[in-house]
Structure formats: C-alpha cells, structure tokens
Amino acid sequence: MTLLDNDVWSKKILSDGWQDATREHQVTEPATGAQLGTAGLATPEDVRRAATRAAEAQRTWAATPPQQRAAVLRRAGELFTEHAAEIEDWLIREAGSVRAKAAFEAQLAIGESFECAALPTHPQGEVLTSEEVRWSFARRRPAGVVSVIAPFNFPLALGLRSVAPALALGNAVLLKPDPRTAVSGGVVIARIFEEAGLPSGVLHLLPGDGAVGQAVVEAPEVRVISFTGSTPVGRAIGEQAGRLLKRAHLELGGNNALVVLPGADVQKAASAGAFGSYLHQGQICMTTGRHIVHESLLDEYSAALAAKARALPVGDPAREDVALGPIIDRRQLERVHGIVTDSVAAGATLAAGGEIDGAGYPATVLTGLTTDMRAWREEIFGPVAPVIGFSTLEEAARIVNDCEYGLSVGILGDVGTAMKLADQIDSGKVHINEQTVNDEPNAPFGGVKASGTGSRFGGAAANVEAFTETQWVTVRPDIADYPF
C-alpha cells in the first residue's frame, strides 16, 4: 500500500481514526479537469466533536517526554523523504505545480519536520530576578488546541509550517486545508503523522467550506488560530478571534516589490524578476507583483523581462515539460485576465502575454502603467509582471511603501545603496540581490500592514511565541510571612 492509497482516505476525514464523511468533494486536476479521487468534507458538528477529543488527547500528548515527541517529528521527516516522489506527483496534479516547484515544496516539508524535531528540547523559558527571597521563572507551556487553516497554493508547506511546530510543542491540532488541495495539503500531512506514530486524537483533518472554517475558529477548546490566506478572510478571522479573546496568527496577502537599482546587471535582474513573478503561476503570497526599475534601465529591463516571459511554456505539468502550469480554477483565471484587460484599457501596454491559454495564463508583462491601475494596486495572484520607473532612491522608497501590503521586498544592485533603501521601507522581509520569493524553515516569516500580524511562522523563537503561553512560576524555601 502506498502512503496515499485511495482506500485509506477516500470520502473520509481523520478524527480519532479515519471516519466516513457525510459530505464529499471531487478532487480534480486543474490542468485537465480529470477526477483524481473523492475527499471527505467535515461539517461544523464534526469540528465540535474533534475539538472535544483534541482537548482530551492534548493533555496526554503534552505530558509525553520531549524526546518521544521529537522522535515523531524526526520520523515524519524521514517519511516525507521516503515518499517524496509520490507527494510531488500529487502536488503536480492536484495543485497544478510544475515539477521543480513540487520538489521544492517537498524539501520544505522535510526541512520543517527536522527543524521542528528540535523544539521539544529547546529552552522553554527563563530565570528571572526577583526582589523577594525566592526563585522566579517564566516558562512556556503548550497553548492547548490549535486550529490551522491552510491555502491551496503551497498546500503542504503552508499547512505543515504550523502543524509541525504546534505538535512538537505539545499541542493538538485541527487542520482545515483548502478543499481544492485536500489531499496534498491535508491527507499527506495526516498520513505522514499517522505513520510516524502520533497518538490518535492529537491531529484532526477537517477539510470544508467557510462554515467549517468558522467552526474551527469558534470551538471553545481552540486557543490559537494559525491562518494563511487572503487579507479579507484574515480580517474576518482576526475579528472573530478578538471577540473570543483568542490569538490569531495571520499570514495574508502581498503585492511585493522588486527594485532594480541603477547599474544593476539587467539580464540577471530580469531573470530574478521573471522567477519572482512567474514561479507557480504567480500564485504565491511572496510573488513579485511590482517591478520598480531605475529610469536608466527601464526600457532595457522591460524588454529583457518580456523576452523571458515569451520563452516560458504554459501547459500541463503532469504530462509536459513546462514552466507554468494551470491557474487553480476558472474563476481565478478569469480574475487574472480581467485585471490585465482593465489595466490595458486604462492605458497600460501589453509587452508579453495577456491571453488565456486553456487552463493556464502565459507569463505577462505590463509597461506604461500608472500607480492607480488595477494591475499595480491589487494582488493579482497570477503570472503578471507590472513594470514602472523611478528616478531617485527617495522616490523608489515612496513607491514601495505606497501599498496596503508589506510582506516581501527584493532589491537588486549595489549593496550599499540597497541597504540605504532597505532602511526606508516597511516590509516583513527584505532580500538584497534576490527576488521576493524566499522561505526557509529556520527563518522568521511574516508581514506587516495588510500582509498580516508579523513573524509568527518559521524559526524556534517565532514558533515558541506562536504556539505556547507564558506562565510565571515562583518558589520560596518556606511559606512567606504575610501581614494578615
């Protein structure tokens, strides 16, 4: 039997073992529309039962010796390695990933598992000074039950980056993947941890619609919500969490800028810009959505980027050697095209691409924009590269910051000049002489402004902050004297 044998998960959810679901979702291949299987969907009632069971299982899991929890995470990393080819095939077919992106995502899952295996034995607090005759400690304790709501674009990596540290630190998890990637973003994680020896009831797989999402936020047992997705949905979750006095860690949208400084190598810069805008069809929160180029290089860069865009084939990544696969569904495909056509109608120039190609969209370059056009203002979530010029460093900083988002910025060119610019911009991440799409399991990840609530993902410090609570503990040698 393979890891993802259809008989295990078909029409089921994972909640204290694989249970028959009362609702179903057809798992389809976005490139062809072919049916890949039938996933089970949870209901709000399923969530309520799962949350109650998770709270029970969490107490035992939190009391499990740290080395035993670490062993489960290490075994998960080994299993991700052993089953990488099978997992990559699902990422290609279900999520529309090109093969290189699928391989990269599988490697992120491996790295995340091994990185989080160190968390159970990571220092869990600090010794404090005290004005009293006592020992004083601040220790970190598991938050309890954590809800993880993950998106479709990097379904495995963006779900696991919360599931793995939450489990490692002694929490139970309710995982709600996007139904469009219920297997690669849900079943894969559930099966890996099942095979790795995670006790039953600690991890629950609950794919579903907005009602299920609301239920995993509102369940009384849930103390922390870790959400990756769109800014409008994130705002709604943040409002719910605030009303319920729960912590919500929100990693939201982005309209990320790549700044090309005067004197930069144009061909290398265009290569970086193409990768940043077109990887996974631009369906990444870190995608390069705005190219801001010094006026001395603007025409040359635009031409070089357009040439690279025209050379990138679009098609079915499961059957062809292509650079761009399908857009996740027809609705999003038409939204991308609508933004392009609206911007062209408003005066932008189409330098490459701009026409729907089956289930995909070709790498597109827009020039001659103004900053009020849709292609410049909105997060497109498609393979579109808008290009605009600047004259001074101050103007570049102003253009970068004139955006509701603040997730990732790349700066290409002279390092000293780039450092000066970096000090003037608002962004959760800055990459000098790299494009905007960067992620490593040990690095803090998050954005500011409408991109989220800061770095609550990646690295030991961020993970401990995200998935534990601080408890103050004092110890005296004898019972204290009191004036009453």
Write out the catalytic residue numbers. Answer: 251, 285
Residue 144 φ/ψ region, left for φ over 0, alpha for ψ in the -120 to 50 degree band, beta for the rest = left
* The residue type at 466: A
Extract the tokens encoding 120: 């159970």
Chain length of the chain? 484
Residue 33 phi, psi dihedral angles, 5° rounding: 80, 0
Extract the tokens encoding 424: 């003037």
CA distance 298 to 304: 10
Q: What does the DSSP 8-state code read for residue 319?
A: T
Residue 155 φ/ψ region, left for φ over 0, alpha for ψ in the -120 to 50 degree band, beta for the rest = alpha
Extract the tokens encoding 103: 């391989």
Residue 36, Cα to own-chain centre: how many angstroms? 24
What is the DSSP annotation of 151-176? -SSSHHHHHHHHHHHHHHTT-EEEEE
Element (H, E) at 441: none
Residue 359: which residues within 8 A CB-CB, separation 6 or more? Answer: 30, 31, 32, 33, 96, 316, 326, 327, 330, 333
Query: Taking CA 237 as the corner, what is the angle to CA 236 and CA 243, rounded to the nearest 5 degrees?
Result: 95
CA distance 388 to 305: 13
Give the SS3 label for residue 280: helix
Q: What angle separates helix 298-310 from helix 266-278, to the nearest 10 degrees?
A: 50
Half-sphere CA count of 430, side-chain side, radius 13 A? 18
CA distance 41 to 243: 27
Residue 263 φ/ψ region, left for φ over 0, alpha for ψ in the -120 to 50 degree band, beta for the rest = left
CA distance 27 to 481: 67
Is 482 exposed, middle or buried (CB count within 10 Å of its CB: 0-12, 13-18, 19+)?
A: exposed
The helices-and-strands tally (H runs, E runs) of the chain is 16, 21
